[in-house]
Amino acid sequence: MARDATALALWLRHANAMFANEQAALNALDAAIGDGDHGANLARGFAKVVTKLDEATQATPAALFKLAGMTLIGTVGGASGPLYGTFFLEAAKAAGDAATLDDAALAACLRAGLAGVRARGKAEPGDKTMVDALIPAIAVLDGGGSLAKAAEAARDGAEATKPIVARKGRASYLGERAIGHVDPGATSSAMLLACLAEAS
C-alpha cells in the first residue's frame, strides 16, 4: 500500500487522540519509576503536532515527519522529547523526496527512526526503555510481518520491561525498585505503533 503525507498524517492524529486518552495512565507508569510526566509530555507534544497539521498541508511524508520531529523536540522536553524527535527526523531523512511510502519504504523509515533513537540515547536492548518496544517491532517488519504484528511485538516488548531493572533514564536511579513496573516510554512506543497500524 502506498501512503501519501495526508494518509500518514492520520497516524499522528490517531497518536494525538491516543496520548490524550492515555495521558493519565502514562503519567502513572512514569510516577512509579520516574517523575510522572510522560503522558503529559506526549499529550502536549502531539497536540502541538496536530495544531501544525491543521495549519498547513505537508507535501511529502518527509515533510510530515520533519514537522513532527521538530515539534516534538520543541514541545515535549525531558528524555523522550529529543528521542521521539530524533525518531521522526531520521524517518524523514529515510523518506527522501518520495511522494508516497509503500510498506517497504515505511519500514525503512521506522528502522532509521529506531537507529536514530539508539544512536542518541545509547540504550541497549533490556535497558528498560522505549527501544525494548521498538526493536522487536522493527524485527517483525524486517521479517516481512505486518504493521499490526509489529505493533503486537512492541506491546509484548513493553510488557517484558516489567521484571527488569533500568539502565537508562530516571528509572535507572531506582535500581531494583524499578522491578515490577512497565517502562512508560516502551508503553508509549507500543501505542505509537498501534496507531500506525490502525491508520494504515
Q: Which residues bind ligand ADP (CB under 6 A)?
A: 30, 34-35, 37-38, 41, 78-80, 83, 117, 121-123, 129-131, 168-170, 183-186
Cβ–Cβ under 8 Å, residues 81 and 72: yes
Smallest distance from ligand ADP to CB 154, Å: 12
User: Rounded CA gap, 68 and 85, in Å?
Assistant: 7
Q: Quick one: which of 6, 192, 193, 16 has its CA closest to 99?
A: 6
Smallest distance from Mg ion to CB 169, Å: 8
Smallest distance from ligand ADP to CB 88, Å: 15
Backbone angles phi, psi at 101, to 5 degrees: -120, 120
Pick from ligand ADP, Mg ion, none: which does 123 bind, CB < 5 to 8 A by kind?
ligand ADP
Q: Quick one: which of 139, 117, 137 has its CA closest to 194?
A: 137
Pick from ligand ADP, Mg ion, none: which does 60 bind, CB < 5 to 8 A by kind?
none
Residue whose CB is less far from ligand ADP, 5 or 29? 29
Residue whose CB is less far from ligand ADP, 60 or 189? 189
User: Rounded CA gap, 101 and 159, in Å?
Assistant: 30
